[in-house]
Structure 1
Amino acid sequence: MPVQLLPASAAAFAPRASSVNVVLGSKVEPWLTKTLKRINKVKRPLNSVPQHTKCLTETLSSPNAIWILASLMLPKAPEDKLKNDSNPLVEAISNYQLIHLEAYIVHVDMVLRNEVAFKLTPDTIESLIEYHKDVHCPNTKASTYDWSEKDQQCKKLHEDFVQAINKFVFTTHVTALEGLEEEGAGELLDGRSEDVKSAVMNLYKPLLPPPPRIVDVVRQPPLLPSSPANVSRWSQPTTPSSLPAPVESWRVLPSSPSVASSGSASPPMWASMGVSEVQMPSPTPAYSTPSYSTPFSSAGYYYGSTLVSAPLPLPSMLAPHCGVSMGFNNFGWDRYQEYTTTM
């Protein structure tokens, strides 16, 4: 895209130049010739490019060459001071004002960008600044919460608007010159006024309060429910201390009658249980006649000089007669005399 070139008169706070900068191409468009003939009361020769340039420059440089770009309906006072009336027409007249956006042409380029540039008049700029100070700033100030630097921010907001509205230049296609009238005045056609309204109203910025302060909270990573606080999550689990200690195989009864000895490859079902963990009834006195109503008598399983005078049988000798139940109901009372002959 070609670089936009504007004269010094288009700068902020620059006064209006006595002559408009007009640049035409090597060939004049027919619509421009027709427009210039329509607005001139005195017939002027328009047979060449220099003649068109001179006629257009003199017409746009006239003090009366003021264009109305758009019209804005704006409130006269802040929202809390607007008047209420039963008649909507009276309420609108009392509370609203019509501001015409008047401008003059500072640049016409029909070679590089084919555009025409407008700059707002000092009276229009003053009206927009007054509205921003008396209406817009109080409204946006009332719509935000209070903080320590609110007044300073509102003042800076107004200063920024003053700079922006003085720098404002509206550019559009050169065909906008078709709305040219006598003495250089004119009006934008083809809906270009809506573009001007949007561009001007976008300069009214809201008052943005500072964002809330974010307090950094350092949180520890959550631990797994089964992991203690001082153990890494990748550490190997330790053996619980509540598990019973290993017991020698000769102290454990075989798990089933089919097992011949305690040295088999697979340990019995209750190999991990010690004899001390099995709740056994107290032994019956020596030389007493066993009662078949008693579920179990463990007289031959206790070491003592007064009770046992012969070596005890090995668990492998008792395996075919022992069941897998914990009650020892099938201990083999039919051979009881063999075990107690020497007692």
Structure 2
Amino acid sequence: MPPQLLPASAAAFAPRANTVNVVLSSKVEPWLTQTLKRINRIKRPLNSVPQHQRCLTETLSSSTAIWTLTSLMLPKAPDSELRKDSNPLIEALFNYQLLHVEAYIVHVDMVLRNEVAFKLTPDSIESLIEYHKDIHCVDISANTYSWSEKEMQVKKLHEEFIQAINKFVYRTHVSALEGLEEDGAGELLCGKSDEVKNNIMGLFLPLLPPPPRIVDVVRQPPLLPSSPANANWWSQSTLPSSVPAPVDSWRVIPSSPSTTSSVDSNSLWASMGLTDIQLPSPTPSYSQPYSTSAMFYSSPQVSAPIPSLPLPSMLAQQPCGISVGYGGFNQPWDRYQEYATTM
């Protein structure tokens, strides 16, 4: 993209230069030749590029070379001071004014960008700044709610507009020079004035108040239906202060000392069978251990007597041989039928 070349006179707050910067190509367009011949009262030779450049520079550098870019219909006072009437024509005559936005040419480029640049006149800039301060700022301030920094924000908005309107430069195609008239004055053609109007009105920014602050509301957690109304929810979740220490299983003292006995197990099994086993006295102190088997149905127990079988301690130790039988280690094979009938 070619660089945007503008003279120093196009900068903000810069005064108008004595001459306009005009750059023409090596070949002059026919429409430019016809336009220069039309506006010149005195016939001047236009046979070369330097002659066209000299004629156009002198015409645009004249103090009377003022262009009307657009016209704005603006209110004369804030909304609260406007006249109210049933006839809209009367309201328009008394409440609105027509502001002509004027400018002068600061740059003509027919080589790189084929454009012409306009800068607003000091009178137009002053009129727009006055309208922004006395009417626009008053309306936007009245239409927004108040906050602590409202006046400061309005003042800052006005200062930004002053900078923007002084920097405003309108650029368009060089064909706009077809609207050139005598003494260098002119106006934009082909609907270009609407484009300038939209660009200027875009500099009138609205006042944006700060968003409302969001306040965090801390809500108490709901109580359960079984909890009392005045119970503290958080106090119920605390752990108990005293927790019993773990106890080893071997340190537990039995609840009934009578259930234990010091009788030798070898002598007990040697002197009695399975049917002769009885609990030691005193029996009343014995407590039945807790069992859940009584809660379920079970088949009745068989009450048939259990035959008394010899225990290992009653058998004599002898080496294993062919005489070992199913009845015991000391019984021969020929007594198998006897033991089978008893079982």
TM-score of the pair, normalised by structure 2: 0.65
Q: 1:57 to 1:316 in 2, by over 3 A?
A: farther
Give the alignment of 1:1-343 within 5 angstroms: 1-215=1-215, 247-248=292-293, 252-253=296-297, 313-314=300-301
Over 4 Å off, 4+ runs: 215-220
CA deviations over 1:57-95 (Å, ceiling 9, x no partner): 000001110000000000000001001223322221110
> Residues of 2 paired with 1:252 and 1:125: CA distance?
104
Give structure 2 stretches of 5+ with no counterpart.
221-233, 238-289, 305-343
C-alpha spacing 1:246/1:196, structure 2 compared with 1 (3 Å): farther
**Alignment root-mean-square deviation, CA:** 2.7
Number of aligned residue pairs: give it.
Answer: 240
Q: What do the CA deviations read for 1:146-187 (whole angstroms, capped 9, x no partner)?
A: 001111111111111111111100000110001000010001
For the residue of structure 1 that corresponds to 2:107, the secondary structure is strand
Cα distance, 1:246 vs structure 2: 8.3
Counterpart AA for 1:247: T
CA contact (8 A) 1:62 1:184 kept: yes
Q: Percent same amino acid among aligned pairs?
A: 73
Secondary structure at 1:119 match in 2: strand
Letter in 1 for 2:18: S
C-alpha separation between the residues in 2 aligned to 1:24 and 1:247?
Answer: 114
Deviation at 1:217, TM superposition (A): 7.0
**Aligned mates of 1:56, 1:107 — CA distance in 2:** 11
- Matched to 1:186, the amino acid is G
| Structure 1 residues without counterparts, runs of 5 or longer | 221-228, 231-244, 255-261, 263-312, 318-343
Cα separation, 2, equivalents of 1:96 and 1:165: 22
In structure 1, distance between residues paired with 2:303 and 2:51: 133
Q: Distance in 2 between matches of 1:253 and 1:316?
A: 18
Contact kept in structure 2, 1:253 and 1:315, CA below 8 Å: no
2-side partners of 1:74 and 1:251: how far apart?
A: 99
Distance (whole Å) between structure 2 residues aligned to residue 251 and residue 37 of structure 1: 125
